Structure 1
């Protein structure tokens, strides 16, 4: 949580107890992984410098309050996972060549003696140690639609594929069964959605556990004794918690849980409590604990909202609007979350486009949205255009490769929907988005320039070819799977054709561009070249460059400056001299 300039790690001893800050760095930290060995109390965390994403791993000793770096200080490292005995940990690193993710194992007592256990091409991630700590479950990630699980024998270094098949499968989470005889995992094998399954290692057969739920299982956790399995489904963008009795295979009734997002599922060591984070459009994320004995949900933390009255915050309505193509003879419907200000309108509109592109807008708490709604009278609409996750793997593939601009057409049809709403002002519509959402903002601006007033683009792609050529080595092949391979002449020609830099002359409405100088994903050159192109054509382009940030703004001072600048930009170019009735 962040009570100062950056996110740091805090300790809370009891429900509603005072927080005790443990780390005090200028840079944000993440991923506190507690050592299961009580004789060595402490946790591993990750930290980079200036948003570079070259994360280093550190061990924080809770007994002494001291910390030490475990990795080389140069490469990208992450996904640390403790052995069950707490004497070893595994993680991935790019230290071999800066491109491939190898897996290393080491001990906090001798971090200088880290040993590679898997060196191979591609992106490999350690997932979990087997109950006897002799094997390591690892994942090879290719794309959101294609990944592979393997079991690595730590003595022989032999890799054994889990569920070998010729079908491309998109796997999610996976965990060992408590007896080591099988795995619980999520996958879209034979289904549009990621289902929860049990995979028997001896028979190599899978049993579906969530087949009755036509939505993705986003996350799950197992109690250490193997009695319970908790999982969260993503149902049209809203989280729903399920608790399964693994002996009876029946769901256990749960107390009422606030409608919103649920993440960070974790059973305590003896399986009597289930921790989670709950986040709603009206309240920031807070830690809750479900006590299994009495089926009560206990709140542990109380996030602050600066003295504001949360009952005045506005919740979105889930809508669906028709787009340009059909499914089974009927118009395809695009889901979107619509935040409507109080009052009569007509309200100016800001369309928020998520990144990814395989992301999904889900209604988390967003203080900036609430400011737009309550203080500026701006309606916010967040669509999940084709290519978004959460709606089945066929929907996810609808914008790949040469179908890239079909998702932009979905925004065009949203503009049609806005024109039909009497409370909305179709003459005052803007777009905002970051990363791939930044590309979507630029593409929407040049395709529908005459229907828009302004655009805000954060760390966005302005030219697919230069992006693919200059994104960091360890990301390049992953992005080629999604966008296309720029080394292929035909694909290169297409990518250049649809890139915003090629079409910048069509953008005549004001733009706000924001960028982190150290961005390893979308280099700062992507923002600089589109700003230059728009200005060269006589257009208006505000440009903010944060020199100590990367892919987005994580430091409060930079975030505040950006937020205030965007408010000023929207006041001038979206709202203009018009006011809405309240």
Structure 2
């Protein structure tokens, strides 16, 4: 009987009889012991083998040895399959609310559907489509679950997910004609995104079923059993063929070793192992996920009461962020600011230094900004819902206490609020039109004859593509910035009364697009030397023809008057404030310079009565904070002499939110330091006296115990010097364990500001903190910021490797006890560093981190997607997509071998929660690495 007859007639028993007699296809008997073994096992696995054999084989001539090799492989899989179901029945049978009965009843249905789906997928492999078979499997399984969400169906999904994974592997192999070792890393993830979506969408079904019927003890017992299953599966990694030679499992699916056109599946041991892991994870998830208050804890142990009590002291520190100076009504001269009482930040008002704070808003959601209406009786503010960052514009009348919805947004995001000089018009940007492009809106405010406030409907005054935001609003003109990326943006003047009037002002205008070097504008303001905007020069902060963002002045038509305002400092200007129009031919402005993490404050005066004259004056801020770093003298000698590098203790100031009012003679700002959470200060312009208005609480802790950092540089792999902040605990005869914190962005900068977690670890746990600004950070020039762009992404990860090398050489640091912490892009850095340098790291914390650049770029909010593509690369380009997948932590998550804690916000518009969930789901699959302890995830529903 030839193979074709065997397939068509299904004469299995007759074939086996001939096989046992040694007469199949006229060949003599070979290995009769194997033939006997096949017959003995026939009743248990014939159905499974035959169905699968039909669906995977192409009709052709196949030798007996090849056939028996294939049948042997199928038998071993079926044997493990049977053991698995027997185990489920025995274990779940111990429970009062047993799942064993359900599993037993569904077993036959399970097997039939499995092979139907196998056939469905195989049918779609005739024409290559990336992940096509996987998608078909998922759609089918989701449909099954919708109709009948039994436990067995949920388990079926776990099997299908892993099987579809290997369909992607096979398709990749067929398409690229690569050997399996070469394509394993790429093909393994060829359909992972769709699979993760399917798991996430159906996980709640399994949670609901198992929550009441499975206990933690059961899960641990089940895990131990599965560990034994996997050990037996390891024995199957090598399959004994009929010639007595060992055939590596990875070689089984290679079509090159078969002559007759028979296409074999990859060894299903891989599939089976993955399925076991998926099933175990699904069961464990039902027990380990808990809701505590507003949080969802997944495999996260509850902290002790004593720990919570200590941490709460540090967490209840309170900072104050300046919003605006009040310039109207009885509160003129007061300051609006944001601070947190209770759970969220709201707007408060303070009348003078040390005065009582008056809370103005009382929302359960935080208020992010507030701008006083010039000459009015209230302020505009921004607020979102659930941490979505879809900010809407509101207005509060402080006399009546009434709140108005100004922007009336339903799906957009608003920002960059600006009042006109007379307070009658409010300008802002919004993505309301399509959720992606930033349009500029204006709303009119009027008071009718009865004294009632009337607010118009928002109207679009500028509609464009991409990110456009107003930087200043004076008389009838707007300064608009077109933001491409932090390395490229353009500045324009728009006249609201003359649509044809449009001036390109920025020195890096699009007329210079031939230049290879792009430039960016960070701030721009009209210098109000006249009541006529046409006579007002423009102060611009840009990095055009410079490595740093510096101040330059142009006339109202865009021509440069002063190419650079010198400060003798090498650093970016971080903020710019301009006073209202007060005196003809005179305008005041203030700005800060970030001098390697220490902010210097300057006050400038421009006079135009005799050409353009500029006077610049630095403002000295005397330190009011005290640290007790003298306790670190034990290590001081090694710090100052190590490798010829100098360390200096820094008591720096970080200044935010400059607000300048010439009529009141007041400059206000928020000042932060390593030992102070952040308070409001003012400078009286006529006397230059600095006053502190607020005195933020620190949870009853002794401020004198707080520790200032040291600033140093370490050399990276390519000779680049990387700046780093180092916080050391009080003196000790032992080496300090280390927490390495990696900031997000990546175009952000770690600054010496009060960080409750740092101070807690320093004072209570004796843990040193290293806070590097790896390449790609802002604050050190645009060249430094560009060193990690796109194809150079892994160079930033290598900076962490160089930091670990530096730690190895320090006599006061314990290189055996290093943990990593990072958020957003910093979370990606943590995951990548753990993968690259896992043997040198003891634990890691990933906060809202990017795990897959492709899925991140596809799912981050539309309004920021293009700017992120400029930084990371465009995933729509095939070559870039391949690169992004290759460096994504999700692609190599199996290499994470340290305890990992993951935190995410379910409403995060920047890094979707799925980025954290998918790294948790894939990592927890390795149940041999203590799954209950290896990873946990904390979800914030309203963030």
Asked whether the equivalents of residues 137 and 151 of structure 1 are also in contact (C-alpha less than 8 Å), the reply is yes
Instruction: Please state if 1:45 is matched with 2:410.
Output: no
TM-score by length of 1: 0.91
Asked whether the equivalents of residues 340 and 346 of structure 2 are also in contact (C-alpha less than 8 Å), the reply is yes
Instruction: Please state if 1:146 is matched with 2:488.
Output: yes
Tell me which of the two structures has the higher relative contact order, counting C-alpha pairs closer than 8 angstroms and 6 or more residues apart. Answer: 1
Instruction: Please state if 1:333 is matched with 2:669.
Output: no
Deviations 1:274-313 (A, max 9, x none): 1111111111111111112222101111100111111100
Instruction: Please state if 1:105 is matched with 2:442.
Output: yes
Asked whether the equivalents of residues 503 and 558 of structure 2 are also in contact (C-alpha less than 8 Å), the reply is no
Match of 1:115 in 2: 459
Asked whether the equivalents of residues 70 and 108 of structure 1 are also in contact (C-alpha less than 8 Å), the reply is no
Asked whether the equivalents of residues 504 and 558 of structure 2 are also in contact (C-alpha less than 8 Å), the reply is no
Match of 1:251 in 2: 616
Instruction: Please state if 1:465 is matched with 2:866.
Output: no
Asked whether the equivalents of residues 197 and 210 of structure 1 are also in contact (C-alpha less than 8 Å), the reply is no
* Runs (4+) off by over 6 Å: none
Asked whether the equivalents of residues 394 and 406 of structure 2 are also in contact (C-alpha less than 8 Å), the reply is yes
Match of 2:901 in 1: 512
- The Cα shift of 1:271 comes to 5.5
Deviations 1:100-149 (A, max 9, x none): 0000111245545211100110011011112xx11111111110000111
Instruction: Please state if 1:358 is matched with 2:747.
Output: yes
Deviations 1:2-25 (A, max 9, x none): 011100000101110000000000
* Separation in 1, partners of 2:439, 2:347: 27
Among 218, 233, 236, the alignment partner of 2:593 is: 233
* Separation in 2, partners of 1:211, 1:294: 22
Match of 1:219 in 2: 575
* Separation in 2, partners of 1:545, 1:18: 37
* Separation in 2, partners of 1:137, 1:50: 32
* Separation in 2, partners of 1:270, 1:141: 33
- The Cα shift of 1:219 comes to 1.0
> What aligned pairs does 1:54-453 form with structure 2 within 5 A after superposition?
54-74=390-410, 75-109=412-446, 110-130=454-474, 133-158=475-500, 159-163=502-506, 164=509, 165-166=511-512, 167=515, 168-178=518-528, 179=530, 180=533, 181-202=536-557, 204-207=559-562, 208-210=564-566, 212-224=568-580, 225=582, 226-247=586-607, 249-252=614-617, 254-258=619-623, 259-270=652-663, 272-325=665-718, 331-344=719-732, 345-453=734-842
- Mean CA deviation greater in 433-442 or 262-271: 262-271
User: The residue matched to 1:246 in structure 2 has which SS?
Assistant: strand
Match of 2:938 in 1: 544
Q: Which has the higher strand share?
A: 1
Asked whether the equivalents of residues 184 and 198 of structure 1 are also in contact (C-alpha less than 8 Å), the reply is yes
- The Cα shift of 1:269 comes to 4.4
* Separation in 2, partners of 1:211, 1:377: 40
Deviations 1:348-369 (A, max 9, x none): 1000000001001001111111
- Stretches of structure 1 lacking an aligned partner (at least 5 in a row): 326-330, 550-582
Asked whether the equivalents of residues 423 and 445 of structure 2 are also in contact (C-alpha less than 8 Å), the reply is no
Alignment RMSD = 1.4
User: The residue matched to 1:491 in structure 2 has which SS?
Assistant: helix
User: The residue matched to 1:501 in structure 2 has which SS?
Assistant: helix
* Separation in 2, partners of 1:371, 1:126: 41
Asked whether the equivalents of residues 776 and 784 of structure 2 are also in contact (C-alpha less than 8 Å), the reply is yes
TM-score by length of 2: 0.56
User: The residue matched to 2:541 in structure 1 has which SS?
Assistant: strand
- Mean CA deviation greater in 139-148 or 163-172: 163-172
Deviations 1:392-418 (A, max 9, x none): 111111000100010000000000111
Structure with max Cα Rg = 2
- The Cα shift of 1:546 comes to 1.2
Instruction: Please state if 1:479 is matched with 2:479.
Output: no
Match of 1:11 in 2: 349
- Mean CA deviation greater in 340-349 or 18-27: 340-349
- Stretches of structure 2 lacking an aligned partner (at least 5 in a row): 1-338, 447-453, 608-612, 624-651
- The Cα shift of 1:203 comes to 6.5
**CA 253–112 in structure 1, closer or farther in 2 if over 3 Å, else same:** closer
* Separation in 2, partners of 1:381, 1:241: 27
User: The residue matched to 1:520 in structure 2 has which SS?
Assistant: coil
- The Cα shift of 1:478 comes to 1.1
